A = this chain, B = another copy of it.
Amino acid sequence: MSAAPWPQTLSMSAFREALPFEGEPFWQTVFEMHREKMQIKNSRLAVANLEKIFTATFALAAEKGFQAMSLRDLSSEAQISMGGLYSYIGSKNDLASVIEGVLRACIDEVVLRLQQADLPPVATLKTLIFSEIYMVELLRDWYQFCFMELKGLPREQQQLTLELELRFERSLVQVFERGIAAGEFRCAQPLMLASQVTAQLEQWHLKQWKFKLRKVSNDDYAQYVFDSLLRGLDCTPSAAQA
């Protein structure tokens, strides 16, 4: 993944074009990321079957959970024989680990690019929130899976996930403090406010059923999270146009 500049506009389509989180290029990246674990040489073939396997895993894990899903289930859902599966994955647990690894790499990529963009406080917050929501749109299955199946992963990966969340909130707080120093914001409990944002963003992928039911769009939700954050920062909507 290359570190190109951040998209100029905040919209699903701009995000989609700027970041390689879907289609064949994405699956190609996934393939590179755990090439070692599999025995298949032919790249074209491998990428296609990887996609089938991961997609089937998401479907079954969403329905009944990863632990409850048997490899026989997976084999029939992915239309690949049991023996065939094992040329693509090292073991069942391995499959889960790889999924977590890919998602975390994607998140790191976004965080990195955003830091390089170096925007003013309000714009940074808005970009952070909208990007996270767009990200969930592209990688919903991955988020869902990683959240629900975290307990089944190696301790090391569990730890990395917790640290990612702490780092995210700390970086939010840093932006708050930049804005406070600039006289744009006021906030008594910045860390609690940061965790409010985390809670809202997490709810977006955890409770997709609820927002589908209420016909709340990506942008509706992102805008609401952003607005409520600005309220928490005692920041008037007019300043938000920055």
Binds B, one of A19-27, A45-53, A64-72, A101-109: A64-72
Question: B195 touching A203 by the CB < 8 A rule?
Answer: yes
Question: A214 touching B191 by the CB < 8 A rule?
Answer: yes
A210 CB to closest chain B CB (Å) equals 7
Hey, which chain B residues are within 8 Å of A68, CB to CB?
Answer: 67, 151-152
Hey, which chain B residues are within 8 Å of A165, CB to CB?
Answer: 207, 210
A211 CB to closest chain B CB (Å) equals 8
Q: How many residues of A contact B (CB 8 A)?
A: 34
> CA of A162 to CA of B80 in the docked complex: distance in angstroms?
35
Question: B64 touching A65 by the CB < 8 A rule?
Answer: no
Q: Mark A138-156, 1 if CB is under 8 A from B, else 0.
A: 0000000000100110000
Hey, which chain B residues are within 8 Å of A62, CB to CB?
Answer: 151
* Contact among B65, B166, B209 with A210 in the assembled complex (CB-CB below 8 Å): B166
A163 CB to closest chain B CB (Å) equals 11
In A12-56, the 8 Å CB interface with B consists of none
> CA of A65 to CA of B93 in the docked complex: distance in angstroms?
14
> CA of A105 to CA of B208 in the docked complex: distance in angstroms?
26
Question: A195 touching B210 by the CB < 8 A rule?
Answer: yes
* Contact among B64, B221, B231 with A151 in the assembled complex (CB-CB below 8 Å): B64
Question: B189 touching A224 by the CB < 8 A rule?
Answer: yes
Question: A209 touching B162 by the CB < 8 A rule?
Answer: yes
Hey, which chain B residues are within 8 Å of A152, CB to CB?
Answer: 64-65, 68
Q: Lowest 6 CB-CB distances: which A-B pairs, in order?
A: A67-B67, A199-B203, A199-B199, A67-B68, A192-B224, A65-B151
